[in-house]
């Protein structure tokens, strides 16, 4: 695309308008999806960067931005705090957890597409054990898939679940050890 890093440092607006310029030159509409958007709060000189970013994005006519994250409170703060640049930048949509009924055919199809057999009841068991939480359904399904030769059995599902619970317990224990007493008691 002919981007020169040193030139971009001099003209950062060019990179902020890049998607809009491409969309206009191609006479199309673009949707840019950005995950973990709340991490913008950790950028160097974050308020100045957020102001600059918003000032460019709000002029874009051919690009829409879908900004998302699983950490709802942090992301909500970015868009609902009157003192922050992205206050009321766009619509907030809160998505509910994906239902178990949705997961069953998704899991079954992914297993079958790789030549591994799984019954609908076993696919449902994976989704139920992970309580429909996307991250954990995917993790558990992957662990089951890795342990499966030809066909999934109940035992294959139980084993990685125990390991996943242990792994997450250690992670959560590490997180809670760094909390203050008021945070733990909240």
Report the alpha-carbon distance of residue 169 to residue 152 in Å, rounded.
26
Percent of the chain exceeding pLDDT 90 equals 48
CA distances from 83 to 38, 42, 48, 86, 133 (A): 15, 16, 13, 9, 33
Residue (of 107, 169, 171, 116) closest to 139 by Cα position: 107
Report the alpha-carbon distance of residue 138 to residue 167 in Å, rounded.
15
Higher pLDDT, residue 92 or 114:
114
Residue 158 clears pLDDT 90, i.e. is over it: no
Provide the 8-state DSSP code for 28. -
Higher pLDDT, residue 11 or 10:
11
Residues 93-150 have pLDDT tens digits of: 887 888 999 999 999 999 999 999 999 999 999 999 999 988 889 999 999 999 999 9
pTM exceeds 0.85, yes or no: no
In the chain, the domains with their CATH numbers are: 11-80 (no CATH), 100-176 (1.10.8)
């Amino acid at each position: 695309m002919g981007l020169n890093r040193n030139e971009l440092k001099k003209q950062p607006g060019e990179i902020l308008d890049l998607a809009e310029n491409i969309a206009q030159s191609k006479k199309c509409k673009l949707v840019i999806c950005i995950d973990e958007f709340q991490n913008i709060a950790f950028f160097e000189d974050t308020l100045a960067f957020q102001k600059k970013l918003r000032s460019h994005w709000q002029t874009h006519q051919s690009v829409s931005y879908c900004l998302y994250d699983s950490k709802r409170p942090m992301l909500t703060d970015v868009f609902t705090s009157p003192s922050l640049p992205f206050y009321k930048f766009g619509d907030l949509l809160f998505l509910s957890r994906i239902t178990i009924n949705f997961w069953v055919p998704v899991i079954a199809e992914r297993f079958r597409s790789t030549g591994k057999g799984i019954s609908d009841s076993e696919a449902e068991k994976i989704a139920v054990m992970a309580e429909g939480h996307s991250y954990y359904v995917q993790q558990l399904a992957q662990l089951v898939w890795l342990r499966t030769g030809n066909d999934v059995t109940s035992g294959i599902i139980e084993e990685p679940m125990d390991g996943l619970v242990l792994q997450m317990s250690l992670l959560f224990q590490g997180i809670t050890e760094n909390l203050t007493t008021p945070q733990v008691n909240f």
